[in-house]
Structure 1
Amino acid sequence: MSIKNEILIHCKQVLTEKVHSFKDKLNELVSDAENDSKSSAGDKHETARAMMQLEQEKLISQFNEADRQLEILSSINPDEEVKFVRTGALVETNKGIIFLSIPLGRIKVKNADIMVISAIAPLAKAMMNAKKKETVSFNGTDYLIKNIS
């Protein structure tokens, strides 16, 4: 199995765990709201319901974003030959390894540190369409692209 495939699997696992966590929290909020509506009334009750509603909306938004990111990962073919930097590219540079997909941050796969960034991140935008052996300058730092897969 290629390192790119392992990175994709790792990223999907992290997001799947987040999705399950959001679902659990959402179910808990719905349950709390149902129990709360059976009890008291008044201003205090209305404030609590409004706060639960805001929390519910926030969780739904986070859930939808994680779901969208899972779709991005699912659209990446780890076996496809990549000749230039684009979404789904695993870019080996003189400064480290970068995977352009979703904003997940630093992960470790096969004892390698991988920076998983969104394709719309400033560094990714600077590297976009660059080819192997090209140098990209970003924030005063030169990134030599050693390999792209």
Structure 2
Amino acid sequence: MSTHKQKLYALCRDHVQRRIQDISQALQEVKESADEETKSTAGDKYETARAMAQNEMEKLNAQLQENRKLQQVLEQIDPLRSAPIIQLGSAVRTTQGNFYIAVSAGALGQGKEAYFAISPASPIGTLLIGRKVGDEFQFNKKTYRIEAVE
């Protein structure tokens, strides 16, 4: 099957894993910083520093959970599977650009072969899901025609 789709899948997987690693590292740094702060201060300054660290940890934990959900979405994709109808895991070429239906990861690749990794729940993703080669649709005042689906 398509090594092209396998590459797109790997790029999305790497993107999510890198974000999880970065967030985990930031979370660890906040914890260490909060621990150091509690050792060196007392009173109101201590309470303020602890509250700020707690807020930051909550924000990072929420981001971590969101990225783990994205990882679960990717686990549902078989990059070797192809279908004529656009679905999760489809690589789609249109007259207005190329899309990989998986998770929002931005542009993958460069030039004419670049694909935008998008969520099926995104505005354009919802328009693509269920369509096939030859179908047309409107998005942002542009007409898209589906040229290929892998």
Identity between Structure 1 and Structure 2 (%): 27
2:85 counterpart letter in structure 1: F
Q: CA deviation at 1:146?
A: 0.7
SS of the residue aligned with 2:12?
Answer: helix
Q: 1:1-149 residue pairs with structure 2 within 5 A?
A: 2-108=3-109, 112-149=113-150
Are the counterparts in 2 of residues 130 and 136 from structure 1 also a CA contact under 8 Å? no
Relative to structure 1, the CA distance from residue 86 to residue 13 in structure 2 (aligned partners, 3 Å threshold; closer, same or farther) is: same
State the Cα deviation string for residues 18-76 of structure 1 (Å, max 9, x = none). Answer: 11111111111111112222221122221111111111011111111111111111210
The whole-number CA distance in structure 2 between the counterparts of 1:138 and 1:62 is: 29
**Alignment: residue pair count:** 149
Are the counterparts in 2 of residues 134 and 144 from structure 1 also a CA contact under 8 Å? yes
Q: CA deviation at 1:109?
A: 6.6
The whole-number CA distance in structure 2 between the counterparts of 1:4 and 1:119 is: 16
SS of the residue aligned with 2:71?
Answer: helix
The whole-number CA distance in structure 2 between the counterparts of 1:22 and 1:101 is: 21
Q: TM-score, normalised by structure 1?
A: 0.92
The whole-number CA distance in structure 1 between the counterparts of 2:31 and 2:53 is: 9
Ranges in structure 1 where 5+ consecutive residues have no aligned partner = none
The whole-number CA distance in structure 2 between the counterparts of 1:27 and 1:44 is: 21
The whole-number CA distance in structure 2 between the counterparts of 1:54 and 1:68 is: 21
SS of the residue aligned with 2:133?
Answer: coil
Tell me which moved more, 2-11 or 41-50: 41-50
The whole-number CA distance in structure 1 between the counterparts of 2:116 and 2:137 is: 17
Q: TM-score, normalised by structure 2?
A: 0.92
Tell me which moved more, 29-38 or 89-98: 29-38
The whole-number CA distance in structure 2 between the counterparts of 1:8 and 1:116 is: 9
